[in-house]
Structure 1
Amino acid sequence: MGDLALDQDVRLRRPAGIRSIWLGDTKVSYVPDGDVRLRPLELLQDTTDEVWAAHPEYLDATGHLVGSVGGLLVEHGGRALLIDAGFGPRTLEVPGGPLGVISGGALPQSLAQLGRSPQDIEAVAFTHLHSDHLGWACHPAPGGELPLLAHAEYLISEPEWDRRDLLEAQGMGEEVAALAPRVRTVTDGQEIFPGVRVRITPGHTVGHAEYVITGGGRRLIAFGDAVHSPVQIDHPDWSSAFDHDPALTAGHRRRLVTELAQPGTIGFGVHFADVVFGHVRQDADGPAWRPVDA
C-alpha cells in the first residue's frame, strides 16, 4: 500500500500524459496540450494554509496546484470526436489571482501519438467557452492561417452560446467570431456521437455541459470544470474562484461525487493532475478520488 500511495502522490504533482481506457468498443483518451499552475488559496478560497500544509502531495515545489490542460478524444467505429480543445500554442503568466501560469501547444503532437490527425476529428464538443478549452478551435495550425480544427463542427450547449455576450464583455470577441461559422448548439440529453450524450450543468458557466459516454456496461462522465482538482472530491463544498455561480456549482458537485461512487462509473477531470480518469471511493475519511487507467 505504501508504494501505491507514493505513486499517487507523485502523480498529483505532475500534469497528465496520454492515457486511454476502453468502454466496450469505444476508446477514450486524454489528449495533452499543456499544463496549468494554480495558486491554491486563491483558487479554492474556502481553504487555508493549514489545509495545504496537510496536503502537500497536491503542490509542486513552488507551492502551486498542478493541473492538466487538454481534451478528450472519443473513438468509435473509425469515427472521432474531441471534447474540448486545450489552450493552444501560447503561454500566459498572471501575476496575481488564482491563475499562475498556463501553457499549451502539444495537442497536435498528442493526437499524432494516438494515431490521429486533426482532420480525423468530425466535431469538437465544448464543456464551456473559457479560453483553456477553446484553444485549437480558434488558433491556427502550425504554419497555417485557419484554426487547427476549422474543418470540424463545434458543438456548444444552447444556453452557453446564447450568452456569448459574456465572453465578448471579457474581451473574447475574436474567439466568438472564430467559433461562430462552425457552431451547432446542442441541448440537454441529446446524443451527439455514438454513446455520447450532453448533460447541461450550469454553475461554472451559465451553460456548462458535461458529456456522458457509455459502452461495455460502463459509463464515463467528462465533467469539465465542475471539479478542478481531486481535492474537491473530498470537499465538494469548495468551489473555484472561476465559478460563475459557486453555490450552484457546489450543489452539483455534491451530486456528482455521489454519482461517481456508483458501480461502473468513471469520471474524467480535464484539469486534474496525472489522475484524469478515476472512481470515487468511500474510505474512513469520506469520499476520495482513485485513479483508473484501464
Structure 2
Amino acid sequence: MHTPTDPSAASPDTPSPTWTVGDLTVHRIDEVPLPAETGHWLLPDATPELVSDVPWLRPGFADEAGALRLASQSFAFEVDGARVLVDTGIGNGKPRANPAWNNLDSDYPARLSAAGFAPETVDLVILTHLHTDHVGWNTRADGGTWRPTFPRARYVTSRAEWNHWAATELDAARQQMFRDSVHPVREAGQLDLVDLPEEGTEVAPGLRLVPTPGHTPGHVAVELHGGTATALITGDALHHPVQMAHPGITSCVDIDPRQAAATRRRLLASLADSGTLVLGTHFPAPTAGLVTALGDAYGFTPVPPGA
C-alpha cells in the first residue's frame, strides 16, 4: 500500500509532499515549475487536440486548452540507512542556453534541508542521466569555483551514460554544463560509474537501477522496494503522463527516439496493474500514481499527497 501524506509544498516552510512505500518514505523536493511553452517544445507531437482527447490528464497534468504542465524536482528517501537523492535539477546561478534555466535562483536547498536532507547529510546521489536539468545541483558556487553540493555523497550514474558523452563532440552549452556540474564531482573523486546488466543492478538493499535507454544511451530508472511495496522513479523514460496514453510520443531531445519509444512500451507493460507507485521526475502535482492497462495503451490513476 502506498500512503500519501501532506499536500503539495508551497514554500520551504511547508512540509515536502511524501508517499509511503512500505517502510520507505519518499519526499518530492520541488525546484521550479517549468514554463507553459515547455510541453510544446519538449513533446511536439502532444498537440493540444491530442491532449484534450485524454480527459484524465486534466486538471493536474494539462490545462483546459490542452497545454501540458511539467516541473523540475528531485526525490529523496532513506533506504537501509543510506540517505538518497535522485536527480538534482537545474541548479542556481549557472549560465544556460535555455532562458528558463539561465542563472536560476530557486530555494531548492532550503526545501531539501526542510525535508530533512541537508546537503551534508546525503550519502548517495543517483543521476538518471547526464542532461542539464538533472545534474544542476550536483555543484554549488564557492567563490569562482564549482564544488560538490553533497560533500560526502557518492554520485552514481551508468558507465554507458558516461562513455557516450565522453565519446561525443559536445556543443558549447553542453561543454559548459559538464564544466560546472559534472567534472567537479569527478575531480573530487565522488563520481561512481556503474555497469548495468539488462536486468538492472542493486546499488543498496531495496534500491535498484533499471536500464531504460533511448532518451540517452545510459539512461536509468530507479526502483525502490519497501517490504512488499514497490515504486519507480521515471527519470526521462517518461517525461509526462500523456506518453502513457500515447507511448509513441517522443521527446525532441531523445537521442534515439525509436529506442526510447520501445523502452517506454516495455516499461509501461511491466508497470501496468502491478501496484507499483510511479513517480514522474517531471510530472507536476499530483506527481505519482498507478499505471493501468487501457486497450493498447495505458492510463494513470493519481495517488496525490494528502489524499
Q: TM-score, normalised by structure 1?
A: 0.82
SS in 2 for 1:263: coil
- CA pair 43-272 structure 1, distance change in 2 beyond 3 A: same
Aligned to 1:214: 225
Aligned CA distance change for structure 1 residues 285 and 210 (closer, same or farther; 3 Å): closer
2:236 to 221, 225, 237: 225
How far apart, CA to CA, are the structure 2 residues paired with 1:43 and 1:107?
23
In structure 1, what is the equivalent of residue 27 of structure 2? 29
Distance 2:86 2:211 in 1: 14
C-alpha distance in 2, partners of 1:198/1:87? 22
Query: Structure 1: how far apart are the matches of 2:302 and 2:142?
Result: 33
CA contact (8 A) 2:28 2:73 kept: yes
Calculate percent identity across the aligned residue pairs.
31
C-alpha separation in 1, matches of 2:261 and 2:250: 6
Deviations 1:128-147 (A, max 9, x none): 00111101112337999633
* 2:184 corresponds to 1:178: yes
Q: Distance in 1 between matches of 2:17 and 2:94?
A: 24
Relative to structure 1, the CA distance from residue 145 to residue 39 in structure 2 (aligned partners, 3 Å threshold; closer, same or farther) is: closer
* Deviating more after overlay: 229-238 vs 19-28: 19-28
- Sort the Cα spacing of 1:31 and 1:144 in 2 relative to 1 into closer, same or farther, 3 A: farther
Aligned partners of 1:236 and 1:253 also within 8 Å: yes
RMSD: 3.0
Which region of structure 1 is more displaced relative to structure 2, 195-204 or 58-67? 58-67
Distance in 2 (alpha carbons) for counterparts of 1:168 and 1:178: 17
Query: How do 1:89-128 and structure 2 match up within 5 A?
Result: 89-90=92-93, 101-102=100-101, 105-128=106-129
Instruction: Give the Cα separation in 2 of the matches to 1:240 and 1:104.
Output: 26
- Which residue number corresponds to residue 81 of structure 1? 84
User: 1-side partners of 2:96 and 2:149: how far apart?
Assistant: 24
Q: 2:74 aligns with which of 58, 71, 74?
A: 71
- Mean CA deviation greater in 135-144 or 69-78: 135-144
Q: 1:5: which partner in 2? A: none
Identify, as 1 or 2, the structure richer in helix. 1
* Runs of 4+ displaced beyond 6 Å: 91-94, 141-144
What is the number of residues matched between the two proteins? 275
**Structure 2 gaps, min length 5:** 1-7, 9-14
Task: Tell me how far 1:64 sits from its aligned partner.
Answer: 5.1
What is the letter of the counterpart of residue 152 of structure 2? Answer: H
